[in-house]
Structure 1
């Protein structure tokens, strides 16, 4: 009879553990966050398992090596707060929980009240009728983060079969914790990338990317409700001078203060955005001329008040251009253009605010002149290619370069790409200009080869969205290759993330055709555009260029550093190369190298240079690192790494 009773008891215990394991697995499938999962498992252990107490403790990395209770269920009566357990090897570290964390293996305490090692807790355990216990370590990513402890009211309550099932439960729980943490980290990274794409990292305001959609929505709402809408464009003065004299930290602080002042001056009918640099936008819905003038006056008065920073007083001023929907324009682009014209006029007059008027056509003279001169630039040979090297971080050897378009007009002088590229796009000139850029780059490659010079990698050529929209784009590319005789394996085509979103199906086909020709493809400014990480699997991509905004703040902002680390990990997993843009300091170079980044470009290594200077200074150089760099200088052992970074082609 005794044997029969023992067998029945053994089966009951195994049954209990199996039910507990089954219920715990269901909880794992339903879990949405770590805390609720832990509490559910503890509750299931006491309600279904029938145990007296179940609790989960996480180890702390403090001096006392304490254990922090994070979840419990059952008959506690202050035991956890009074237990004061430690995972250190000391008197308070003899419990099953403590030892399981310290040793990383299951700990069984079959008879607590008669165990001399547990004398520290005999009184508390006896009062609460804790007679036996088992503790099972929780291991996440190779580290024991804590343990789950289960207490029973009778001694010798846990047999071998039951312990094995509970170990399986602990293993499943560990997997659940790790999965939730990975999912949470992924969600945070995606949210961070989304926020960087649509919100200004400095002020937290909607950025230029986001503004386009917000303005379109506001115009649509104004049209539907037959309301007037005003668009403010605020341009601040003296920010550049402050940056140059006192550093960007001071200028950035002032920009944040201005953003806060603007948000404090407007009500719910207005929206503030940062347009870029020292420009801000305000979309003022349901506005009247009287309200608009008053708001403009208050803004100018607010920003004229001195800004105190680091025991210094800084004074700035500003110019505001204002345009109305529907009187001045009925599209976001035209409304911004009108506000910009009004701002330019008042800025030229010394500052203040100005409402757009139709007789401001003379302000278009510059743009029209740019259009006229740009259409002649190709024929007259006024466009030039400059080159900026891509550098291997470890040894400083060049492993390719990026071709950058520059314009020197005999009448206008040097014109910034930021000014003439939008004009070229507006006039539909980018297909012709883009073909010239590719052809010129190929001619330079051919020239270098004829002289026996080696760029040790590919030449990157930027391709605009308008070029991809050109129905003859692939024909233009094929014609350049035929005329120059340069192999496409020498070229890397760079496009921005926004290009991928215009017509994803068509873009995918064009990119596959380009890959079929032998080109490699890079995504420029990765992480700041509209596309999601899912597009990396959809499009034939070889390289991700990490946007300089992440690199700029990575030494001070752990979020930016985490984004870079995430991009590098994703690229490695998918077999993609990475290039960090905008490297300006030795500290940034070292930090990127520690994260596993191989290639970079930026002013720290070299500014963009004309073809002749680039040929003489860079193609013949062994190392492009400054003399004060801590990186190792090139050696024969670096060849394999540089060859791998550069790809199979060497120009």
Structure 2
């Protein structure tokens, strides 16, 4: 018999099995089947090495003449026991026995006579090296003595390596699928109550509106605000406030029944969607919620009497878009707080909010043009060295009448008014000027600027940045750019081209809000980036939410495996800092590290902060003295 030829035939069939494999169990079983039925070997089995006290080898797949073998045998990879298979696992090298009769008991897991009765004349055992460690074995028995020559062992060893690689690949795919599913679930479901979140509710509402419009039906939305939430959070703590929300979500779901769609759409807000319903049906449900959902709740040993305020809006009478209906439902809920009934229909005739928004858009344009915005920065700190290693440039707007306008609000205004590119120009120019000021003062602190999806489509973006480098003569390592994962995915090819041109300038690039944009790993590998920034929604809940912890840990591992740094946003406590340090995360950003502060106060902040400013290469001058 040409043993090398049968080994080559087995290797070829095994490769085809690897390519078709969808899950680990079927891969292992089919590989054993290939070895026995196509290779002509007497028996093959795969085991996994356990890290228990007895160092057990756990059989997971087998094929051939093994009747009773796995019932009477005890498999271990402990020192001095288990025969060739155990030796292969212990040493990480193949072990060949050309004649089983020469093996001295008890070095086989079964008696030699029983092995011979099953037709085992020779055996070869290979370690399965999975993710750099011996994870198990592939053991093959032949019916002939001297069956495994050097060439055959080499070919079968290659097949064992391929099998180990296949196992590792399937496990990696499973981890990725689990992480992606967790990300998808977190994108559409509230982690506290397990209810659909605002994003999910708005998509559901949009679909319901289209259906109602096509069928000439009405629909109603109830927005339920839970009273005392903020007071309980401030007085007793956020865990107690969360306990109240969980109980209220359970009660609302019970009262709503099967027909309405319920979601958590705000910190203390729930929405209920009633299809094919009018004002009477909606108000009847609202009245029932006010009456039956407000029984006392035990919170931290206290009996709390919760209150709810409910706003009711109707399609098409109160609006024809999810945004308009949800906004007006919230207005109605606030209005109902001052009523005896604690619920009510939306009463707004003129959309005051729209008028305010239009006014703010006009004011924002003037603020950009007249340099009335403020540059803030938020420090980034190396977790290992506790050194300030950079800062993120942030824009703030102090309105002359309204005071500080929430960042999310005026960024949304800028997007609607077509002001994103002018706003980015202002931030770029101000950030370069500030970096130059620091540079002149001897401070070497990289300042990162955020670029939006619209910025990536700006044909003049690169020329503008090149001009700023020429104007201020700044070293490229002192300017960084952050691009959100979702922005990159709007136009992957165009974003890749822009990033390549940015990278050619010598700057560092960060993927911001990583984990929220559903980018593929193949696309991520192509990006000329230096670091990933884990979205704060995962970081802030990693100590209390297992799903978030998985995502954070997976992102740190992924970034490091790709040779990238990893920055965690939303580091709000020492516990989060320590958890990230244990995971090997590189950089932290958040209120525990430092609040956003006016850029011109950064040096003073650093001088009195517990963090040290990372010196320039070769610079040993103390940070405060520079």
- Decide: shared fold, TM above 0.5: yes
SS at match of 1:252: helix
Distance 2:423 2:153 in 1: 73
CA distance in structure 1 between the partners assigned to 2:447 and 2:404 by the alignment: 24
Structure 1: distance between partners of 2:425 and 2:603:
22
Change (3 A) 1:466 1:208: farther
Aligned equivalent of 2:33? 43
Q: By how many angstroms is 1:528 displaced?
A: 1.9
Aligned to 2:345: 355
Q: Is 1:98 matched with 2:86?
A: yes
Does the aligned pair in 1 maintain the 2:380–2:389 contact within 8 Å? yes
> 1:471, 1:327 → 2: CA distance?
43
Counterpart position of 2:623: none
Aligned position for 1:151: 141
2: distance between equivalents of 1:434 and 1:26?
53
Aligned to 1:179: 169
Q: Alpha carbons of 1:593 and 1:426: their partners in 2 closer, same or farther (altered >3 Å)?
A: same
* 1:227 equivalent in alignment to 2:207: no
Provide the rounded CA distance (Å) in 1 between the counterparts of 2:513 and 2:392.
14
User: Do structure 1's residue 121 and structure 2's residue 76 form an aligned pair?
Assistant: no
Residue in structure 1 matched with residue 602 of structure 2 by the alignment: 614
The 3 A distance-change label for structure 1 pair 266 and 570 is same
* Matching residue within 12, 19, 26 for 1:22: 12
In the TM superposition, residue 35 of structure 1 has moved relative to its aligned partner by 0.6
Q: How does 1:479-494 map to 2 (within 5 A)?
A: 485=472, 487=474, 489=476, 490-494=478-482
CA deviation after TM superposition for structure 1 residue 470, in Å: 7.5
Partner of 2:534: 546
One of 377, 381, 386 as aligned partner of 1:391: 381
Q: Would the aligned equivalents of 2:283 and 2:344 in 1 still touch at CA under 8 Å?
A: no
1:71 Cα deviation after fit: 1.0
Aligned residues: 618
The match for 1:77 is 67
Alignment pair present for 1:600 and 2:588: yes
Distance (whole Å) between structure 1 residues aligned to residue 92 and residue 132 of structure 2 = 10
With 466-475 and 590-599 compared, the bigger mean Cα shift is at 466-475
Question: Under a length normalisation based on structure 2, what TM-score does the superposition of the two structures give?
Answer: 0.84
Q: 1:34 deviation in Å?
A: 0.9
Asked if 1:67 corresponds to 2:53, the answer is no
Specify whether residues 530 and 291 from structure 1 end up closer, same or farther in structure 2 by C-alpha distance, changes over 3 A only. farther
Is 1:336 aligned with 2:326? Answer: yes
Q: 1:239 aligns with which of 211, 220, 229?
A: 229
The alignment partner of 2:540 has SS state of: helix
SS in 2 for 1:553: coil
Cα shift at 1:68:
1.2
- CA separation of 1:386/1:36 partners in 2, compared to 1, >3 Å: closer, same or farther? same
**Match of residue 461 from structure 1:** 449
Q: Take 1:261 and 1:226, find their aligned partners in 2: how far apart are those partners?
A: 32
1:592 CA drift (Å): 2.8
Partner residue of 2:279 out of 267, 281, 289: 289
Q: Paired residue for 1:107?
A: 95
How many Å apart are 1:210 and its aligned residue? 4.0
Q: Which moved more, 1:346-355 or 1:330-339?
A: 346-355
Name the SS of the counterpart of 2:163 in structure 1: helix
* Residue 513 (structure 2) aligns with: 525
- Decide whether aligned partners of structure 1 residues 486 and 104 sit closer, same or farther in structure 2, where only a CA change above 3 A counts: closer
Q: 1:103, 1:165 → 2: CA distance?
A: 20
Equivalent pair of 2:313/2:346 in contact (CA under 8 Å): yes
Return the alpha-carbon distance in structure 1 between the equivalents of residues 15 and 296 of structure 2: 62
The 5 A counterparts of 1:436-515 are 436-449=426-439, 452-454=441-443, 456-464=444-452, 485=472, 487=474, 489=476, 490-503=478-491
Quote the Cα distance in structure 1 between the aligned partners of 2:109 and 2:507.
72
* Contact kept? 1:580, 1:599, Cα under 8 Å: yes
Q: Structure 1 residues 220-229 or 66-75, which shifts more?
A: 220-229
Q: How big is the shift at 1:511? A: 5.5
Q: Deviations over 1:365-408 (max 9, x none)?
A: 76577567656656887643332222222333323322333344
Inter-partner Cα distance in structure 1 for 2:54 and 2:302: 45
Give ranges in structure 2 of 5+ residues lacking alignment.
Answer: 621-625
Distance 1:95-1:615 versus aligned 2 partners, 3 A rule: closer
SS at match of 2:337: helix
Distance 1:343 1:399 in 2: 46
1:582 equivalent in alignment to 2:562: no
Give the unaligned 5+ runs of structure 1.
1-9, 626-632, 644-650
**Aligned counterparts of 2:218 and 2:277: Cα–Cα separation in 1:** 6
Give distance in 1, aligned partners of 2:619 and 2:491: 36
Deviation at 1:207, TM superposition (A): 3.3
| Secondary structure at the counterpart of residue 61 of structure 1 | coil
Aligned residue for 1:346?
Answer: 336
Measure how far apart 1:37 and its partner are.
0.7
**Cα distance 1:132–1:206, how it changes in 2: closer, same or farther (>3 A)?**
same
Q: CA deviation at 1:261?
A: 4.2
Q: Structure 1 length normalisation: TM-score?
A: 0.81
Query: 1:215 offset after TM fit, Å?
Result: 3.0
Aligned-pair RMSD on alpha carbons?
Answer: 3.9
Aligned residue in 2 for 1:648? none
The 3-state SS of whatever aligns with 2:105 is: helix
Q: 1:57 to 1:504 in 2, by over 3 A?
A: closer
Q: Distance in 1 between matches of 2:589 and 2:619?
A: 15
Distance 2:526 2:118 in 1: 60
Q: Residues 292, 376 of structure 1: CA spacing in aligned structure 2 closer, same or farther, 3 A cutoff?
A: same
Q: Counterpart of 1:305 in 2: which secondary structure?
A: coil
